[in-house]
Amino acid sequence: MANTVKINIDGIDVSIEAGKTVLDAAKKLNIHIPTLCYHEDLCVAGNCRVCVVEQEGVKNLVASCAMPAQDGMVIHTNTHKVRNARRHVIELLLSEHNADCTKCYKNTRCELQDLAGEMVINEHMFLDLVPDKNYTIDNLSPAIIKDDSKCIRCQRCVRTCDELQHVSALGVAYKGEHMKISTFFENPMYEVVCTNCGQCVIRCPTGALVEKNYLDNVWDAIYDEDKHVIVQTAPATRIALGEDLGMEAGSIVTGKMAAALRRLGFDSVLDTDFTADLTIMEEGTELLTRLKRALVDKDPTVKLPMTTSCSPGWIKFIEHMYPEYLENVSTCKSPQQMFGALAKTYYAQKRGIDPSKIVSVSIMPCTAKKFEANRPEMRDSGYQDVDMGLTTRELAVMIKQAGIDFKELPDEKFDSLMGKSSGAAVIFGATGGVMEAALRTAYEIVTGREVPFKNLNITPVRGMEGVKEAAVKIENVLPAWSFLEGVELKTVVAHGLTNANKVMQAVKNGTADWHFIEIMACPGGCLGGGGQPIPTTPEIRKKRAEAIYREDEGMAIRKSHENPEIKQIYEEFLEEPLSHKSHWLLHTHYQARKRE
């Protein structure tokens, strides 16, 4: 075929699509070539040279990740020359690497460590340069730790921050032996444009970038008999946690996760999905209110399109990059923060517990949630609403520390009172999920009928395409919503901040006519979050998304407004969406930040 090329690798012929690399061809043959700077989500860099192979007729070794496969090539992946070159590259990296592996958070999960083990590097061939390097550790951020002593300068983080996220908080500074990965004027990550999304963390091959962990803090709270420790779990955790505990990607572990959390000692095991449903009630009502102000009241101050506010990485992005559009952001807090505010008010009141004794812990697929929990705006309960945020990975560590055989756990349910949810809440974990959940409810509120999509599945907003547009024609509305008769509600969904930037540029240029925008900071949405199990690849993200939609379809309730615990909290506490109490506890405003 004209669009394929044929090459020979280690004596085996293989045909592959033109434009693919030698590394791609080797993968097709299940021949393992080690890599460090290469990542499926990123452009080719060829920095590390660990993937070198020998090509017949070519004097120098070639980087297989960067070399296009060409017809007639003969490649050798395991010659003496290749093995020595790879070994020397690893040894040179180790000479500048703080190899105190047993004290490293990435111990046994480090790609450099794995390669050193594969090559049986037992002693230093080169001088240990670590004592002569003035390495620094930046641990000022509540979300991410940057340790230069463990950096191998593969630049995965730089490419991630630039290509996937359009942020460029990290860059290459200096040259030669002084070259390092740094921030603007070498400021702490906490003080620069970093959105805390953690995409750099899940692509870093070593322990140079890791989440700040709060494991000991949570254990201390659990062991403190004077504290009542409650835990909430985000939608995307239940379809990824199993990966770090010996299960296949795409395994749904909701029941086992609830059981594990009880065995860890949490006093109440609750669900962020409850406040995801609550978010839909508040955010959907806010959107309808803005539309009424625009279409009926002709209010020139109303801000449309309205954007979602669930993703803290997106919130920090717009604070830095598009602060003039902050009023377009929904005032709703994220489900995590709604839950935190209610935990120390509604929950405390219902359970008769002193809120000062409640420790609120969240399990999130996201490192930015750690930053969000520490924002000064998130203290409307009179306390810090969420005390500690753990990633999915950190929960897996806790389960291992406790000696729990996760795969053998029975399936258990969440506790009642802020523990019941709908399928609409589950799909918050995938890109397009918030939009789909909102449309399921808003359309039914306005028309009295279910959305006109088979089995409630609004497929136009699903999938991994970077930017997805969808429109829903509103017809035969209820009398109270007559102003929406015939309106075509125009929506757009974006995931990954590079795509978010495209959407916001369209808004800024006046070329967009959307009413409602959903943006998630991470590729694939929360299921690809910076706190999820590593690796996170396109194939793994696909499996996680499929699991989320299976979980939704298996739920007895699939619309947020039908959740009985949502009805209960409005009857007993909040009164109605956008009430005074709702605004006090569930809504907030954000701040413009410098772009540097």
How far is it, in rounded angstroms, from Cα 87 to Cα 74? 23
Question: End of a domain among 27, 53, 78?
Answer: 78
User: Residue 13's domain is classified under what CATH number?
Assistant: 3.10.20.740
By C-alpha distance, which of 234, 265, 241, 267 is closest to 373?
Answer: 234
262 found inside a domain: yes
148-171 burial code (b ≥16 CB/10 A, e <16): bbbbbbbbbbbbbbbebbbbebbe
Which of 56, 324, 377, 576 is an active site residue? 377
**pLDDT reported for residue 122:** 78
How far is it, in rounded angstroms, from Cα 113 to Cα 321? 38
594 found inside a domain: no
Domain holding 400, by residue range, is 215-274+336-408
CB atoms within 10 A of CB 390: 26
101 assigned to active site:
no
182 found inside a domain: yes
Residues 282, 398: one domain? no
593 found inside a domain: no
Residues 21, 142: one domain? no
pLDDT digits (tens, 9 = 90+) for 270-318: 999 999 999 999 999 999 999 999 999 999 999 999 999 999 999 999 9
416 found inside a domain: no
Residues of the chain below pLDDT 70: 1-2
How far is it, in rounded angstroms, from Cα 481 to Cα 292? 9
Residues 482, 391: one domain? no
In this structure, is the dihedral angle defined by the CA atoms of residues 196, 199, 202 and 208, taken in order, positive or negative?
Answer: negative
**pLDDT reported for residue 129:** 85
Give a three-class secondary structure readout of 365-416: CCCHHHHHHCCCCCCCCCCCCCCEEEEHHHHHHHHHHCCCCHHHCCCCCCCC
**Spatial CB neighbours of 445, under 8 Å, sequence gap ≥ 6:** 284, 288, 481, 561
Where do runs of H (alpha helix) occur along 204-360? 215-223, 254-264, 272-295, 312-321, 335-342, 348-351
Which of 330, 334, 360, 381 is an active site residue? 330
Residues 301, 345: one domain? no
Which of 96, 243, 282, 286 is an active site residue? 286
Tell me the two tokens of residue 494: 């974006």
377 assigned to active site:
yes
Give residue for tokens 């995307």: 236
83 found inside a domain: no
Residues 456, 314: one domain? yes
Tell me the two tokens of residue 53: 């192979």
User: Residue 355's domain is classified under what CATH number?
Assistant: 3.40.50.1780
Residues 225, 358: one domain? yes
Q: What is the DSSP letter of 213?
A: P
pLDDT digits (tens, 9 = 90+) for 394-404: 999 999 999 99
Across the chain, mean pLDDT equals 96
By C-alpha distance, which of 411, 497, 456 is closest to 196?
Answer: 497
**pLDDT reported for residue 2:** 57
- Contact indicator for 463, 547 with CB cutoff of 8 Å: no
Residues 558, 503: one domain? yes
pLDDT digits (tens, 9 = 90+) for 433-465: 999 999 999 999 999 999 999 999 999 999 999
How far is it, in rounded angstroms, from Cα 51 to Cα 39? 12
283 assigned to active site:
yes
Residues 158, 251: one domain? no
Q: What is the DSSP letter of 418?
A: S
Tell me the two tokens of residue 2: 């004209």
Which of 111, 211, 243, 372 is an active site residue? 372
Question: End of a domain among 78, 103, 122?
Answer: 78
95 assigned to active site:
no
171 found inside a domain: yes
236 found inside a domain: yes
In this structure, is the dihedral angle defined by the CA atoms of residues 342, 216, 237 and 201, taken in order, positive or negative?
Answer: positive
How far is it, in rounded angstroms, from Cα 213 to Cα 57? 51
Q: Is 428 helix (H, G, I), strand (E, B) or coil?
A: helix
How far is it, in rounded angstroms, from Cα 400 to Cα 187? 36
Where do runs of H (alpha helix) occur along 458-570? 497-509, 538-553, 564-569
Which of 150, 369, 370, 559 is an active site residue? 369
Residues 381, 297: one domain? no
Which of 283, 319, 394, 436 is an active site residue? 283
**pLDDT reported for residue 267:** 98
Residues 142, 64: one domain? no
Which of 526, 543, 551, 565 is an active site residue? 526
Distances (CA, A) of 66 to 16, 45, 123, 536, 537: 15, 7, 31, 22, 19
**pLDDT reported for residue 126:** 86
User: Residue 530's domain is classified under what CATH number?
Assistant: 3.40.950.10
- Contact indicator for 24, 51 with CB cutoff of 8 Å: no
488 assigned to active site:
no
Residues 201, 132: one domain? yes
String of DSSP letters for 56-98: TT-SS-EETTTSB--TT-EEESS-HHHHHHHHHHHHHHHHTS-
> What residue type is 386 in one-letter code?
V
How far is it, in rounded angstroms, from Cα 334 to Cα 272? 10
Q: How many domains in the chain?
A: 4
Which of 48, 157, 310, 366 is an active site residue? 310
First to last CA, the chain: 50
User: Residue 159's domain is classified under what CATH number?
Assistant: 3.30.70.20
Residues 367, 425: one domain? no
Question: End of a domain among 380, 408, 436?
Answer: 408
526 assigned to active site:
yes
